[in-house]
């Protein structure tokens, strides 16, 4: 092996040389490591027949030169394209492919050099982002449609409704407006958390009162559930940003309601000399151990129950970031009898430690 061949063999990218018929003549770099085939397996085979490329929509794609002959005669190559290919083992792999062309005397493409790299991780994130954009659009559209509809109803039929009906409609509008505000706040918090620019306005926070407020706001929308709290007497205050901890509790309680068909959802507290621990326990199907770390990842969404919105896959990710920004921890394990128990800790307010 020459010095140049040895250098090429160490490249992270696959280098594939094609003839004018899109058949493989050279298989270099990381091609064998990336795609599983040896050079002996592939020389003389058509690149598209071998790797069966598809685009993001699942349509057949082409890795070689594409476009009108007139364009190819003056083109020196092509920018990166993405394709899903099938490796020798039968697994699928997202690759990014760029190409350089060599032309014959008539201006046609006589050979093509493809440079391919594994973009699976990038593509997975891109696809997840597309999904979350769709989910966010749904999450925004639903409450905004409700706000618009009920507002129009009140404007046009105000005199026809009694006070109880008006109160019910206004309560619904208020709740759905809060949903929109919270979603926008969560999206802003993600960018701030990831940029390290999240600002906490810490004060002494009464968690007992905060839990009661959150429960009273969610309970009217959880007709098949009983929400309650249980804190020991003289429960200490925490040093925290009240709005952010309210956001965490809201996420955990709404998540518990969402994944519990019916039953109790309980918020419990305990404490020691340095911190408090809050548990939100439900009576749902629980979370398998293999998902207990993933569930706090960005865009991770569990299987949905019929009739429930899919969600954005961001609530627990944001909750983890907010709790950790306070110097606490958050995790999930089994509830006492059935279901899941999400637990998080927060430091005590200074006066509570004295």
Query: Tens digits of per-residue pLDDT, 211-253?
Result: 999 999 898 888 889 999 999 999 999 989 999 999 999 999 9
Give kind and range of the element (H or E) at residue 138.
helix 120-157
The pLDDT tens digits of the residues spanning 76-118 come to 888 888 999 999 999 999 999 998 888 888 777 888 999 999 9
Strand partners, 98: 115
The pLDDT tens digits of the residues spanning 173-199 come to 988 888 888 788 877 887 788 778 888
Residue 136's contacts (CB-CB under 8 Å, 6 or more residues apart) are 183, 187, 312
List C-alpha distances in Å: 215 to 138, 211, 252, 341, 354: 25, 6, 11, 17, 30
On the question of pLDDT at 277 being above 60, the answer is yes
On the question of pLDDT at 72 being above 90, the answer is no
Q: Indicate the pTM of the whole model.
A: 0.60
């Amino acid at each position: 092996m020459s010095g140049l061949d040895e250098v090429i063999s160490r490249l992270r990218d696959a280098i594939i040389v094609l003839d004018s018929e899109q058949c493989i003549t050279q298989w270099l770099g990381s091609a064998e490591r990336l795609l599983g085939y040896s050079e002996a397996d592939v020389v003389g085979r058509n690149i598209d027949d071998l790797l069966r490329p598809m685009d993001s929509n699942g349509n057949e794609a082409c890795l070689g030169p594409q476009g009108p002959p007139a364009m190819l005669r003056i083109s020196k190559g092509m920018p990166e394209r993405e394709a899903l290919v099938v490796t020798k083992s039968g697994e699928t792999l997202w690759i990014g492919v760029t190409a350089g062309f060599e032309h014959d005397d008539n201006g046609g493409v006589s050979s093509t050099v493809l440079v391919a790299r594994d973009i699976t991780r990038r593509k997975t994130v891109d696809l997840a982002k597309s999904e979350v954009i769709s989910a966010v659009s749904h999450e925004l559209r639903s409450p905004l449609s409700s706000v618009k509809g009920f507002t129009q109803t009140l404007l046009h039929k105000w005199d026809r409704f009694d006070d109880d009906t008006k109160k019910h409609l206004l309560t619904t509008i208020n709740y759905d407006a809060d949903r929109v505000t919270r979603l926008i706040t969560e999206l802003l918090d993600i960018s701030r958390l990831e940029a390290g620019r999240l600002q906490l306005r810490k004060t002494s926070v009464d968690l007992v009162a905060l839990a009661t407020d959150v429960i009273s706001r969610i309970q009217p929308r959880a007709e098949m559930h009983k929400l309650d709290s249980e804190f020991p007497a003289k429960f200490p205050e925490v040093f925290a940003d009240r709005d952010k901890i309210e956001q965490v509790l809201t996420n955990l309680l709404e998540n518990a309601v969402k994944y519990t068909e019916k039953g109790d959802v309980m918020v419990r507290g305990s404490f020691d000399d340095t911190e408090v621990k809050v548990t939100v326990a439900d009576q749902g199907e629980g979370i398998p151990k293999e998902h207990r770390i993933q569930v706090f990842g960005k865009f991770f969404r569990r299987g949905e129950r019929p009739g429930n919105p899919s969600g954005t896959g961001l609530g627990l990710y944001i909750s983890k970031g907010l709790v950790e920004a306070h110097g606490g921890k958050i995790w999930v394990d089994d509830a006492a009898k059935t279901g899941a128990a999400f637990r998080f800790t927060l430091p005590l307010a200074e006066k509570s430690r004295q």
